[in-house]
Structure 1
């Protein structure tokens, strides 16, 4: 900027007094003051507009960053949701295939019998080869089961009379 000291301002005032004259000097000084004030206001307005534009640009940039972050979060949520949905579908398919391959009641009874026989063989203190040799029973059967095995099938539902 222009460096104006007191001595330079005094020199400008003396030259103006000589050139303009003492009668017109106050009017010219007022006019120069108003023009200087207008110029300062104009400069301040330009500065404020520039600062508003800079702030506005920063806000636009910030808005763009926030929108990108929101979009990334939305994509992440959508991706996680689709992965979870896919996992649920695969789990549902595995469950439905497992339900289709469930054992029939006959197969379950065979499994139960095998489990009981294996458990008895593990918990019994007498080895199986000794049981086979000595004629001991290898399977434990309840009395009701033995009776059902040896029961003669009679006609039920026919009256005695």
Structure 2
């Protein structure tokens, strides 16, 4: 993450030893470790919460899409029921029953 090598860590340790002294250095390192642990846990909890929210948003979006599809299916079924009930075919005039094909008239005088 920060790309800190061994030499940089050694330099920071030597500066801390000179500034804090050998008596307070172990306590300071322990305190720094606790703070770093708390910060990592905080970042991890925030990350997990964001991932849960993103997952919840996707689930909500999928449910919404499924509801829309179900409504479209219901509307198509209702339209078909209405057309079947009123015997209307698409393109025919309302109020008039749909024309049904008439059987072809047979000749009364068949040709031999």
Q: Which residue of 1 aligns with 2:37?
A: 37
Paired residues in the alignment total: 94
1:46 CA displacement: 0.9
Secondary structure, counterpart of 1:3 in structure 2: coil
Task: Describe the superposition over 1:84-132 as per-residue Cα deviations: whole angstroms up to 9, x where unpaired.
Answer: 11119x48xx9xxxxxxxxxxxxxxxxxxxxxxx79xx7xxxxxxxxxx
TM-score, structure 2 normalization: 0.76
The root-mean-square deviation of aligned C-alpha atoms, in Å, is 2.1
Bigger relative contact order, structure 1 or 2 (CA pairs below 8 A, ≥6 apart) = 2
Instruction: Indicate whether 1:18 and 2:2 are aligned.
Output: no
Which consecutive residues of structure 2, in runs of 5 or more, have no partner in the other structure?
Answer: 89-96, 101-107
Give the drift of 1:61: 1.1
Q: Distance in 1 between matches of 2:84 and 2:5?
A: 77
Unaligned runs of 5+ in 1: 95-117, 123-161
Normalized against structure 1, the TM-score is what?
A: 0.54
Instruction: Find the aligned partners of 1:17 and 1:62 in 2 and give their Cα distance.
Output: 58
More helix by share: 1
